[in-house]
Amino acid sequence: MKNRLMQPSLALVALVAGFASAVTAQSNSGSITATAVVQQPINVVGAGDLDFGSVFPGVPVTVALADAGAGRFDVTGQASAPVNLTFTALPTDLNNAGNLLPVSFTSGYNTLNAPGGATPFAPGSGASTSLSGTGALFVFLGGTVTPAVNQVAGTYNGTVTLQVTY
């Protein structure tokens, strides 16, 4: 008789165990899509050197943004993207075999291929702006050289580097 009483109990245990495993085996899932939009890379080209021309001892020479000798950088990248402009190399002197010629810079930028209407910014401080709707930006650089009255004759050079980042 003991066996008979055990049979329904074992059956009940098996039935409950079957429901328990069915409940724990239930699952659900969802999916998402991972996306990334790769933007146009920034390209910066030194398009025109800042040229002070012939300079005489003791006579400062200034090249304005709209002058033919103004320096120019052409920037291209993602249309309408905001960018930061930083001059990473901006000399305080031009050099000729150890002889130094003091130089200071003025600059401006705009989205037209001309300095007229350029928005000025202090080269040492950098600036934030946006590329045009076609992804272009032009940065113009002017400045002043101040030769001493006993300035050594020769060709003086210095490197100006503009870094543009998104």
Question: Does pLDDT of 4 surpass 80?
Answer: no
Contacts 24+ apart (CB under 8 A), 44-50: 44/73, 44/74, 44/75, 44/162, 44/163, 44/164, 45/73, 45/74, 45/75, 46/71, 46/72, 46/73, 46/162, 47/72, 47/73, 47/74, 47/138, 48/72, 50/141, 50/142, 50/143, 50/160
Assign domain 43-165 to a CATH class. mainly beta
Segment 88-117 shows an average pLDDT of 95
Segment 136-142 shows an average pLDDT of 97
Q: What is the pLDDT of residue 18?
A: 56
Q: Average the pLDDT over each of 28-32, 37-41, 109-113 and give the range with the smallest value.
A: 109-113
pLDDT tens digits, residue range 31-75? Answer: 999 999 999 999 999 999 999 999 999 999 999 999 999 999 999
Enumerate the domain spans of the chain.
43-165
Segment 18-24 shows an average pLDDT of 56
Question: Does pLDDT of 135 surpass 90?
Answer: yes
Q: What is the pLDDT of residue 96?
A: 98
The pLDDT mean for the chain works out to 90
- pTM value is 0.80
Question: Does pLDDT of 78 surpass 80?
Answer: yes
Question: Does pLDDT of 163 surpass 70?
Answer: yes
